[in-house]
Amino acid sequence: MSDSPKTLRNVAIIAHVDHGKTTLVDNLFKQSGTVRDNQRLDERAMDSNDLERERGITILAKCTSVVWNDTRINIVDTPGHADFGGEVERILSMVDGVVLLVDAAEGPMPQTKFVTQKALALGLRPIVVVNKVDKPDGNPDAATDACFDLFVNLDASEDQLDFPILYASGRDGWCVDSLDDPRENLNPLFSKIIEHVPAPKPLVNQAEDKPFSMLATLLDRDNFIGRVLTGRIETGHIKVGDPIHALGITGKVVETGRITKLLSFRGLERVPVEEARAGDIVAIAGLQVATVADTICVPEVTVPLKAQPVDPPTLAMTFSVNDSPLAGREGKHVTSRVIRDRLLREAEGNVAIKITETENKDAFEVAGRGELQLGVLIETMRREGFELAISRPRVLMKLDENCKKLEPYETVQVDVDEAYQGTVVEKMSLRKAELTGMVPSGGGKVRLTFDAPARGLIGYHGEFLTDTRGTGIMARVYDRYDAYKGPITGRQRGVLIATAPGKAVAYALFNLEERGIIMIEPGDEVYEGMIIGENSRDNDLEVNVQKAKQLTNIRAAGKDDAVKLTPPRKLPLEEALSYINDDELVEVTPESIRLRKRFLLAHERKKAARAAEA
């Protein structure tokens, strides 16, 4: 089938985390005939990355395509977490409409606002799909009203405010125009996309006769064909073997070459095609230097296409070579050279990440959108066999024209049971956050909105879950840079530090339990300067975890009791990163996550503390 102006639509699906985007796309595949009835389709088929499947979130924006009634619909599944907003901002330039998915119970959430604002600013007209309307606590009418209020607040145009509304259950595979309609299939959604989303602008403007040009919006690497750039063809058409060059944002030629492979999206697969034309979303291979935001075009084109600006990174960590006594035992990539190459490769395709080399060349400052984004990068590298030492996250400050310090602020939306709202408000106020809104959200819950400095939120999420007994939901999104709010108190307790290398002994850990919370198990390898637990007081305490019970030939009057230990507190990666102080590091290897002091020897720590006070 050849795509013609009337038979092509490009649309993105945007929503908050866990509102059901990827599950809905699964059913769009099945009902459009993209996959056979007897074909095995993994649940959340678009979440192809191992980490995406484990965490149940979408990390990478992905393109796919379905055919319905002779119309090809290119669909982009986007991440729902604010930390991966860099992915969302780029792909919106490839589409002509958006499907905004909102949970019938939760309504629009902060990430919904973040992405919708970007879409409305580009003039895209939304289709609102209220998902999970069959949930017991669902309130579709309230969710619809909240969407309208959100659009008004985001200065939507009259056309954008006149949005169609559909009600759906993505999991059960049905969608209806009215809640009273029979709930059969997703045909109403297909019809609404074709009716409401315009044909691609390049086709409407008859841009086929102009020279080929395309803005690269996604980048990945294939083991067989090399670097692959994905984008929408803005003008002209292209064939395999045609000469092309890449223009940077300034118009400078980045590289020249030929198209060695041209791929179009058909269902879950990228299928080789011989030619493609304006309006379609394609992936091309043949260039080795060109990257995201470059214009790929034929040599006669000299003016680059306008690229969508991406919000700057707000958080940074230092990635350094692991220099602990246990370094090199578990990982295979341990040198600064391979770490540098891997980070630069990541920065190539992820425009929201910036890499800066430090003066001593064995450490790298990695700046990104948030703890989760950088945590995913660290976890990915860890699984690839890297060993790293990671510093505490810190926010990136700016100076205004009067040389006053500015820091990033975030809008935080919290849903908690009424019994816990006092604790949350108190803890947030200690972190310099201001309460800007409080509304009941039904079911004995209340929705709190805060305006908070980003550095005050580092490490708070784990404490928040503890305070709300695991029932609270927190959503954060970057808002702006504003005036510095002064010092914020960090961790309230000190740590327990091992004094000698060796293996931890159960008897020693049992006697240390009254001193604080233990984070290791008997038999774990430790070294001098390694953090083995949290002190119950605000100072650091050096302890001996190898101390064994004295053995004598005199038997005690009572029988020897077996040592019974409280299960240790094992910190996952993101919690460990936010737990440490500035003088501590997280040692990450393929098999272990350890906490340690930056200076392992006690006299070096004292020397550094005196230097800091001076």
Rounded to whole angstroms, how far apart are CA atoms 262 and 287?
12
Longest dimension (CA), the chain: 98
> What's residue 87's pLDDT?
58
**Structure tokens belonging to residue 493:** 């307790």
- Greater confidence (416 vs 33) lies with 416
Q: What pLDDT, on a 0 to 100 scale, did the predictor assign at position 451?
A: 92
Per-residue pLDDT tens for 107-118?
A: 887 667 767 877
443 annotated binding-site participant: no
Q: What integer pLDDT is reported at residue 38 of this predicted model?
A: 42
- Report how far residue 232's alpha carbon sits from residue 278's, in angstroms, rounded to the nearest whole number: 8
Q: Is 134 annotated as a binding residue?
A: yes
Q: Which residues contact 611 (CB under 8 A, 6 or more apart)?
A: none
- Per-residue pLDDT band at 309 (split at 50, 70, 90): low
Structure tokens at 451: 């305006």
33 marked as binding residue: no
Whether 358 has a binding-site annotation, put simply, is no
- Reported as a single tens digit per residue, the pLDDT across 191-212 is 888 888 888 766 555 556 788 8
SS3 content of the chain, % helix, strand, coil (to 5): 25, 35, 40
Banded pLDDT at 36 (limits 50, 70, 90): very low
**231 assigned to a ligand binding site:** no
Instruction: Give the list of residues 6+ apart from residue 554 with CB closer than 8 angstroms, or none.
Output: none
Answer yes or no: is 131 a known binding residue. Answer: yes
Predicted pLDDT at 585: 92
- Does 37 carry a binding-site annotation? no
Residue 58's alpha-carbon distances to 16, 83, 448, in angstroms, are 10, 11, 26
- Whether the predicted pLDDT of 52 surpasses 60: no
Model confidence pLDDT, tens digit, residues 551-596: 766 665 444 456 788 888 888 887 888 888 888 999 999 998 999 9
What domains sit in the chain, N to C, each tagged with a CATH number?
Answer: 5-199 (3.40.50.300), 206-297 (2.40.30.10), 315-394 (3.30.70.870), 399-483 (3.30.70.240), 495-549+564-582+593-613 (2.40.50.250)
Q: Please determine, for residue 214, whether its predicted confidence score (pLDDT) is greater than 70.
A: yes
Query: Known binder of ligand: residue 404?
Result: no
| Cα–Cα distance measured from residue 560 to residue 331, given in angstroms and rounded to the nearest whole number | 41
pTM listed for this prediction = 0.71
Query: What's residue 595's pLDDT?
Result: 92
* 20 among annotated binding-site residues: yes
Stretch 266-290: mean pLDDT: 83
Q: What is the pLDDT of residue 561?
A: 56
Report the pLDDT value the prediction gives residue 401, as an integer from 0 to 100.
82
pLDDT digits (tens, 9 = 90+) for 103-156: 888 888 766 776 787 788 888 888 999 888 887 878 888 888 888 888 888 888
- Is there a contact between 309 and 252 (Cβ–Cβ < 8 Å)? no
Residue 529 assigned ligand-binding role: no
Residue among 323, 341, 343 nearest 387 (CA): 323
Tell me the HSE value of 380 on the side-chain side, using a 13 A CA sphere.
16
Over the chain, what is the mean pLDDT? 81
Task: Indicate if the pLDDT at residue 59 is higher than 70.
Answer: no
Note the Cα 376 to chain centre separation in Å: 7
